[in-house]
Amino acid sequence: MHERQAVIFGVLLAVLAVAGLGAAAVYTDNLALPLLDRGFSTNPTESAAPVNAYCPPEGALPVPNDQITVNVLNGSGQNGLAAATAASLAERSFTVGATDNGAPTAGVARIAHGIEGTAQAYTLLAYVPGAVLFPDARTDATVDLVLGDEYERLAAPEEVALEANTPLEGVTGCRPFAEITATPTAEPTEAAAEG
């Protein structure tokens, strides 16, 4: 009886040892298995869909860089990226507000701005190809540049297609600025009309 138990436990230990060595070999890339060669993937999420950005005000011209305050947030996880990008923005005459870490961000970048900073956001967008405009509820003209996991660099000044006297063009699917800033008119209710 004891011999049978010794054989069973011996075989189990040998199998576990071989499995452990095999796992270590795969983990260290010393053993390649075709089954494990495919990359990791995830299903696209709804959050990857573009946000319904504001269109620039009709006839709005690019804002001079030195009149735009940009907060640079690193959502890429790459150390020092916010500081390096802030330095590049300063070289292009942007006013850099704060630099900090941001929430993990997919894609190139997200430019967050309020209604007052719409023209500023569109001007910055020309320097960050592939970025997405992200309207929020702020009431000032500052913009936040949140760097994503696909961000590489700012566009070189000669790559920026902005003309000082040419009005800004909205991104596809943007909400007209006039609709956003329109003051709603209250219609009288029946109770108010009778009252």
In this predicted structure, what is the pLDDT of residue 45? 42
Say whether both 7 and 74 belong to one domain: no
pLDDT score at 187:
53
Q: If you count them, how many residues does the chain have?
A: 195
Structurally, the chain folds into a number of domains equal to 2
Residues 102, 132 within the same domain: yes
Domain that holds residue 18: 2-32
Choose between 137 and 34: higher pLDDT.
137
Tell me, what's the pLDDT at 185? 47
Query: Phi/psi at 123 (nearest 5 deg)?
Result: -65, -45
The alpha carbon of 92 is separated from its chain's Cα centroid by a whole number of angstroms, namely 22
**Residue 154 scores a pLDDT above 90:** yes
**Residue 26 or 153, more confident:** 153
Q: Is 157 helix (H, G, I), strand (E, B) or coil?
A: helix
Mean pLDDT (the chain, rounded) = 83
26 and 69 assigned to the same domain: no
Is residue 111 predicted with pLDDT exceeding 60? yes
3-class SS of residue 150: coil
Q: Same domain, yes or no, for 60 and 26?
A: no
193 located within any domain: no
Give me the pLDDT at residue 33, please: 65
Determine contact, residues 137/116, Cβ cutoff 8 Å. Answer: no
Q: What is the pLDDT of residues 36-93, one digit of tens each?
A: 655 555 544 444 444 578 889 889 999 999 999 999 999 998 999 999 999 999 999 9
For residue range 166-178, what is the model confidence (pLDDT) as tens digits?
A: 999 988 888 887 7
At 194, the pLDDT band (50, 70, 90 cuts) reads low
Helix (DSSP H) and strand (DSSP E) numbers for the chain: 5, 5
What's this model's pTM, rounded to 2 decimal places?
0.67
Closest CA to 132 of 73, 54, 64: 54
Strand ranges in the chain using DSSP code E only, listed in sequence order = 69-74, 95-101, 109-113, 132-135, 143-147
Residue 110: alpha-carbon gap to chain centroid: 4
69 and 163 share one domain: yes
Between 48 and 125, name the one with better pLDDT. Answer: 125
Question: Does 125 lie in the same domain as 66?
Answer: yes
Q: Is residue 21 part of a domain?
A: yes
Sign of CA dihedral 82, 148, 155, 95: negative
From the list 136, 119, 140, 142, the residue with the least C-alpha distance to 56 is 119
The answer for residues whose C-beta is within 8 angstroms of residue 82's C-beta and 6 or more apart is 72, 73, 74, 99, 100, 101, 102, 147
